[in-house]
Amino acid sequence: MNSLVADKGSYVVLLDDLSDYLTTGGVATAGTNMFIGGFLDQPDEQVSMLESGGFPPIETMSAGPSTHVAEMPTVQVLVRGGRNERQGPRTLANSVFHALSGLRNQTINGLKYHYIQCQPPAIVDIDANNRTVFSINCTITRNRSTG
């Protein structure tokens, strides 16, 4: 498992799905340079995914209680580079952005993802070891999960 988070709730399943998608696409490798729940001390260059809340679910209209038919979670993807490096992490962040942003009607691990919208990468930090960190924030519309 490539996760720093023990809980296997809905959002962690979401992060695992995105990790699998990025690994399959050759953007990063789960458990090697891509992790869920935060950065590890090493390697310097890595991708991390965090749940970041979301929006209320999409519901059906009915005379009785409504039914949630789709979820709209949000995810923050962080990309950290090596020491004193700026272009490498920017290139990796752009690869993550282009792999996820605009993704439509894709089934990942059995769950339908209708649409992913992402903000372009932005520098959010230069850490104490002079490693640049970029952030990509994504909003996802997907079928209701059972996790």
pLDDT in tens, 79-138: 999 999 999 999 999 999 999 999 999 999 999 999 999 999 999 999 999 999 999 999
| Contact between 63 and 1 (Cβ < 8 Å) | no
Residue 114 lies in a domain: yes
Mean pLDDT over the full length of the chain: 88
Residue 133 sits in which domain range?
10-143
Question: In percent, how much of the chain has pLDDT > 90?
Answer: 74
Q: What is the DSSP letter of 25?
A: T
Q: For position 5, what pLDDT does the model report? A: 41
Kindly write down the DSSP assignment for every residue of 14-45, as one continuous string: HHHHHHHHHHHTTS--BTTTEEESS--SS-SS
Q: Residue 91 in 3-state DSSP? A: helix
Residue 2 lies in a domain: no
Tokens of 6: 């023990």
Q: For position 3, what pLDDT does the model report? A: 44
Q: Residue 125 in 3-state DSSP? A: strand
Q: Can you tell me the mean pLDDT for 60-89? A: 87
Residue 122 lies in a domain: yes
Q: What is the DSSP letter of 3?
A: B
In the chain, the number of structural domains is: 1
Residue 4 lies in a domain: no
Residue 100 lies in a domain: yes
Nearest of 12, 61, 72 to residue 38 by alpha carbon: 12
Reply yes or no on whether the pLDDT at 78 is more than 80.
Answer: yes
Residue 116 lies in a domain: yes
Residue 96 lies in a domain: yes
Calculate Rg over the CA atoms of the chain. Answer: 16
70: domain CATH number is: 3.30.2000.10
Q: For position 66, what pLDDT does the model report? A: 66
Residue 110 lies in a domain: yes
Q: For position 59, what pLDDT does the model report? A: 78
Global pTM value: 0.86
Reply yes or no on whether the pLDDT at 6 is more than 60.
Answer: no
